[in-house]
């Protein structure tokens, strides 16, 4: 498929009808600044999209880009329209005419079906114009203004997905699930850390109470219900030992020494004293 000809009338700086035919090979347009070379490129894009993407500002000072799409100079054109004609591999023409008053004579779906055959990227007509009508400002932007990542994103968007068009959405779903799982794990970790810190504080308080008390049973009773169930069960053994040691003739200073001491790191250091 190739561009066959462009015909404009009352478009931008062309008041009268002008037609430019393109050969099967290369066609070179020459002329001084302001004669309308870029306007012909604008005409192709406008015929396909109904807009010109190089104008990033849609409106300013109560005027819009569309106010400058058509002839604004002296005199009045006979008509206001843009025509872009293409030839397919079978040499059958496909012509798009877009006028100021009537719009396009082809629907976007019809234009896309003819110009974007096979696998197509997102917003294929816009990407077609972006990669086919290469303007000097695009060349400067690609070479100087954009970062490497931005250039890669631009090229990838233009090429689109040839295979597996849904891979991007699938990858995004996987990332979303992974982030949700990570948030749940972080919440569980924070809760467990909080419980551990609380248990260590309570254990330290109970250890201090046991060191200061001559009656381990009283110290254990004062801490009942302040520990997690498993720790409560382990510490309850000291209560039983406290009742057995006096019967064996062991003093309180002797049997109180094995009590655990909690270090700042949360580890337990013990010392065993045999009677």
Q: Give the model confidence (pLDDT) of 139-178 as tens digits.
A: 766 666 677 777 777 777 666 554 555 666 777 888 888 8
Can you give the pLDDT at residue 121? 73
Partner residues linked to 3 by β-bridges: 86
Can you give the pLDDT at residue 225? 59
Can you give the pLDDT at residue 229? 62
CA–CA dist 137, 139 (Å, integer):
5
Say whether pLDDT at 50 is over 80.
yes
Specify the DSSP element, H or E, that contains 219: helix 216-222
Cβ–Cβ < 8 Å for 9, 101: no
Can you give the pLDDT at residue 217? 58
Can you give the pLDDT at residue 204? 86
Query: By CB neighbour count within 10 A (0-12 exposed, 13-18 middle, 19+ buried), where does 6 fall?
Result: buried
For residue 64, the SS3 value is strand
In this prediction, residue 106 has a pLDDT band, given cuts at 50, 70 and 90, of very high
Say whether pLDDT at 122 is over 60.
yes
Mean pLDDT, to the nearest integer, of 119-131? 80
CA–CA dist 28, 22 (Å, integer):
9
The answer to which of 14-18, 162-166, 185-189 has the lowest mean pLDDT is: 162-166
Can you give the pLDDT at residue 73? 85
Cβ–Cβ < 8 Å for 96, 105: yes
Whole-model pTM over 0.75: no
């Amino acid at each position: 498929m190739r561009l066959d000809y462009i015909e404009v009338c009352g478009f931008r700086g062309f008041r009268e009808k002008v037609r430019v035919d393109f050969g099967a090979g290369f066609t070179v347009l020459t002329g001084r600044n302001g004669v309308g070379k870029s306007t012909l490129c604008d005409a192709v894009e406008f015929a396909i999209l109904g807009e010109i993407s190089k104008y990033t500002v849609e409106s300013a000072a109560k005027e819009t880009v569309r106010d400058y799409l058509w002839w604004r100079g002296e005199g009045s054109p006979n008509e206001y329209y843009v025509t872009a004609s293409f030839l397919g591999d079978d040499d059958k023409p496909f012509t798009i005419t877009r006028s100021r008053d009537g719009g396009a004579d082809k629907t976007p779906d019809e234009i896309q079906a003819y110009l974007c055959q096979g696998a197509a990227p997102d917003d294929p007509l816009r990407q077609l114009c972006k990669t086919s009508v290469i303007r000097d400002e695009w060349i400067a932007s690609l070479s100087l203004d954009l970062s490497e990542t931005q250039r890669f994103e631009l090229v990838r968007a233009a090429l689109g997905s040839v295979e597996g068009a849904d891979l991007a959405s699938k990858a995004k779903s996987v990332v979303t699930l992974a982030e949700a799982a990570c948030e749940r794990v972080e919440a569980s970790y924070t809760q467990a850390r909080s419980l551990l810190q609380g248990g260590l504080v309570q254990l330290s308080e109970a250890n201090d109470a046991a060191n200061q008390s001559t009656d381990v049973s009283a110290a254990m009773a004062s801490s009942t219900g302040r520990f997690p169930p498993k720790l409560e069960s382990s510490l309850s053994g000291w209560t039983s030992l406290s009742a057995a040691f006096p019967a064996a003739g062991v003093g309180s200073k002797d049997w109180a020494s094995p009590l655990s001491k909690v270090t700042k790191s949360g580890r337990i250091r013990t010392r065993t004293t045999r009677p």
